Amino acid sequence: MQNQAISPTPLPFVVAHRGASGNAPENTLAAIRHAAELGCGWVEVDGTVTADARAVLHHDDQLDRCSDGSGLLLAQRLETLRTLDFGQWFDDRFLGERIPTVAECGLLCEELHLGCNLEIKVVDGWEEPTALAVCESVRNHWPKSTPLLFSSFNQAALLVAKQLLPQVPRAYLATVTPQEWQYVLEYTGSSALHCGDNACLRRSVIQKVIEAGYPVRVYTVDDPQRAAELKDWGVEAIFTNYPARMTGLGA
């Protein structure tokens, strides 16, 4: 028996992963804008926390891969992070791209009429402070008319979101679908399962989850043939770095 406070939020089949991150620097406003230009209705981004408890968009614990900075993001204040470049690593065209706050993400999604899957991306030992910062930013700044979905690999983060913003739907993220998937979904009050596209993904398991009333969404799918196969399996949505490749599959 499914035990959840709110109903699932329907997503389009194609969701832009970290924005349209195959063509623009991930988790930036540029990537979100490009997703809208490609006709996407939803984007997925990563929300994490700075040293001064500000919620920003960034995937890695470390700054090195996606900026001209280095070290742990969590050790830096927002003021310092704003001096770094988060675009040139991808292409010189994006020189000067700055790290966005969750609040700025919400405003841009409102402007572009986008829904947003905001993954709560935690650092080990900072699960609850990360979720608190992200949820507080949403509560204080997220436009009420802009669709929002929380997701996380971390159960503690989802429980914080459930407590602070119970009206915002949640999805549990898993690299491999756990055997106890129904218990985890019920425990975290999640209305959907997001799982990785890998050798462990089974059509039979996906169908069991769907039959229990939970939509299944799969990341990260960049091959149109694989996307079409997953759609045939009953997968509600895929997260892709290249939305333009998914022509005809539904954005």
Q: Which residues does the annotation mark as catalytic?
A: 17, 59
**63, 139 Cβ separation under 8 angstroms:** no
Alpha helices in 90-202 (DSSP H): 102-112, 127-141, 155-164, 181-188
Long-range residue pairs from 159-165, CB within 8 A, at least 24 positions apart, any chain:
159/188, 160/127, 160/128, 160/131, 160/132, 160/135, 161/120, 161/131, 161/134, 161/135, 162/5, 162/188, 162/189, 164/132, 164/135, 164/136, 164/139, 165/135, 165/138, 165/139
Other Cβ atoms closer than 10 A to 78: 16
The Cα 175–Cα 198 span in angstroms is 8
3-state secondary structure of 47: strand
